[in-house]
Chains A and B, each alone.
Chain A
Amino acid sequence: MAKFLFVYRNDTDNMDLPSPEEMQEVMAAWGAWFDKMGDAIIDGGDGLMPEGKTVAADGAVTDGPFMEGKELLGGYSVVQADSLDEAVEMAQGCPIRATGGSIEIRQLAGLSDQQGE
């Protein structure tokens, strides 16, 4: 078993203000996805506020958000899977895809407990 970081990115072109009812539908979709992953979720993580700051190499501070293209970092989770392929398979079900968002999947560099033994 290895641990993977799921990094969620929203599509800023698709950021229409959802109605309260639509928000609840989105939340229900995430709930269903998490239910499906079940024990594979090590840490559900959290969402990120859209605003922030950056400290550059020279110490200069700039206001965020920090876009990579049209995508805005929206949150993260930590899951466990046997392989990167399995983690990718799980990420396919992520509701963020429905609104044009993406999921980046990265294996944590540290050995998980079982691998350490």
Chain B
Amino acid sequence: MPKVKVPRKSTTVDMTAMCDVAFLLLTFFMLTSNFVAKEPIVVAIPASVAEIKIPERDIATVLIDKDGKVFFGLDTQQDRKELLKTLGLAYAATIPAFDEKELNEFSKISSSGVPIEKMHAFLALSPEKRDSKDAALGIPTDSLNNQFSAWMKNARKINPKLRLAIKADQQTPYKVIKRVMTSLQDIKENRYNLITSLKEVHK
């Protein structure tokens, strides 16, 4: 009987297949990804059974944290730049106009909220300091100095297709929500989306 030959196999494995898989997955993630937008505050959103998904484009996000601070975000850099420009014009009596550098800085911040008087100082801060809690002041919403409605009005002018999404913390007092809602009602913004996480119906 002839001896069974056991050929010596090399221990290296062909990596081509694995490489293919890795890059396939990579492509998938790159195409489907939308990055987590950086938010100035952490918000624990309430849950609901609503199953409507939030649209991807033309979204203005109103962030409200549990201390009642209000932040405003637009989805494109171009819109954000325009927003600050028009805001600067609207408040030309109280603050100096924003220069190109400041506009560019602002367009990089996905959602922000500082009183307009402090916007110059805020934009002069370094990006790290901007993220700190002390810098997150919120947009004033009280009826005497309602800068929030000015933000919203200008954002609407820039993008008429804009849809409003309100993302508020579970523990936000209703007083604050009411104030935001009335200021929106005053400028005839009467359709909003309340952002919630999904939960099952308990029977």
On whether the two chains bind one another, the answer is no
Interface, chain B (partner A; CB < 8 A): none
